[in-house]
Amino acid sequence: MKPNSAWLEVILPLFRMHTQQFDNVLHGIKDEDTGIRIEGRTNHIIWMAGNLVNARYWLANVLGMDRKDPHEDLFSLGKALDPRAQYPDLDTLKKEWHTISPLVFRELQQITDDRLGEAYPFGMNVDFIQENRLNMIALSLDRESYLLGQLGFIRRILGYEGVKYDINKEINY
């Protein structure tokens, strides 16, 4: 399906690639490795994966969807890692990712140029970034790119093979 907005013809392939890469970057990670912090200084895999899921829920809200991340208290707006917090396991986060992602994808296909241009105040106060829905979509995907890269890096530090770019054709969002 072709999106209603030509702007999203650039965005949708990146969104879909990130959907695929989420699975790829987490493939084969053992549960016992998901809470490891390198030298006690980095975020752990669960925190990064949870932030990716939260970014998709945030994007849903930018698009006007009434969806709430069930783990928002742990991850909202890149909340700092709390070593005392009880984080969900990786399987839970993977399920959440594949629950919210198709809904957001559908909404991205349907949104119009007029809605994309609507103001979406975020409080960044960066004079060269117009705070509208389109730019918030782009910034959200930028956040996803950053977190996926961090996960790829941590995975190598922990001794796992590099991230594959395998495509699961059953995932169409």
Q: Which tens digits make up the pLDDT trace of 64-88?
A: 999 999 999 999 987 899 999 999 9
Q: What is the mean pLDDT of residues 135-155?
A: 97
Report residue 162's pLDDT band, with 50, 70 and 90 as the boundaries: very high
CA distance 69 to 61: 10
What's the start-to-end Cα distance of the chain, in Å? Answer: 11
Residue 78 lies inside a defined structural domain of this protein: yes
For the whole prediction, is pTM greater than 0.85? yes
The number of domains in the chain is 1
Residue 162 lies inside a defined structural domain of this protein: no
Report residue 173's pLDDT band, with 50, 70 and 90 as the boundaries: very high
Burial of 58 (0-12, 13-18, 19+ CB in 10 A): buried
Opening angle at CA 118, ends 140 and 148, nearest 5: 5
Q: What is the mean pLDDT of residues 5-23?
A: 97
Residue 169 lies inside a defined structural domain of this protein: no
Residue 25 lies inside a defined structural domain of this protein: yes
pLDDT of residue 1: 80
Residue 59 lies inside a defined structural domain of this protein: yes
CATH code for the domain in which residue 54 is found: 1.20.120.450
Q: Are 4 and 110 in contact (CB under 8 A)?
A: yes
